[in-house]
Chain A
Amino acid sequence: MERQIAAAKAVLFLLCLLPVAYYGLGLWQDTLGANPIEAFTRGLGDWALRLLLITLAVTPLRRLTGQVWVMKLRRMLGLFVFFYACLHLTAYLWLDQFFDWPAILMDIVKRPFITTGMIAFVLLVPLAATSSNAMIRRLGGRRWQQLHRLIYPLAMIAVLHYTWMVRVDVTQPAIYGLMLALLLGLRLWWRFVDARKPASLLGGFPRSKHRIIPIQTRR
């Protein structure tokens, strides 16, 4: 099992690098169309949001399939969200604004879609910084879990960031919003259902007050 998980992780790692390879190569080869910098910046933002939704899909996937091992992929997915968010932000600061700090500051203060993008990024930082096993131990499972619930408001803010950027036709952001609503709604629903179930029906697990976070064993 350990070996299969390691293989799955390696495959997933390479898959997660495909978008950055596509956009990086596209920028280099000038195949991103008439406005390559915009395509690059938006493409990386798209993937940060997609990976965020995929990360949020891991727990429901475990629950629906009973495959507990998928939880071991969650941290890598979350870190890739941070990776793409960093690239997206860098593209904006560098290629879009060329480090014109007064203009950037003005954007953050005056433009709601930039403000929300920045808030989402700032909320991501502590999550990425506390992703290691050592940090989980230092914080303690319960506090770590409370901190990482930040991902829920963060995801909503990220969808808002996308919605407010669009000039007309919010179909695309609406699709992301619906998927997020589904992923968060499932969690609410399960919380409600679990609270009503007697402990004996919870699949043999002793019912704990707080859910268990799997900590990866070091090899």
Chain B
Amino acid sequence: MTTQIETHSSYKFRSESNRLGLWLFIISDAFVFAGLLVSRFYLFQGERPELNQILGFAVTLVLLTSSFFMYRADTDIRHGNVKGFTRNILVTIILGIIFLVGVVGLEWPTAPFSAGENAMSSVFFTMTGMHALHVLTGVIFLFIVYRNGKRGLYSQERHFPVEAAAIYWHFVDVVWVFFYPALYLMGVAV
């Protein structure tokens, strides 16, 4: 009985349960983005909005780079390199903010339509807005993890929150991997 209680309260057991819960959340969240993607193909057909191609390409590279640094932060903490972890997670946060500025601060004001103009504009702002909201949530999540890391709360043995933040951040990146070609590359620009 005692052994069973100890097993169920162990950090490994809790991490495995939390990991499963996190993936269930990620899968359910993915359906929201999948719905948006389907609506884009249904409403745009063979067209796409005339957007700033260079800006779209640049923000995509920024997000991919942030994912790389997040991977490094995750790897560092898994191997006990706490300094490397805090440094890399800070770079990830900065790149996440740059992505947000690129999409919300630069792309939105220069978009060739306003939010409620037509179906295409509504889908564009819903897709990028929903994604930007997830990036903002991710940046806040990463900042909390960074702060806790600075306070010495994570170690090689106990670092599930870092893993969770990494999975969430990479998920946001995966969503953009599909959104970028759907919004910027596929179809004839109108």
A and B assemble together: no
A residues engaging B (CB < 8 A)?
Answer: none
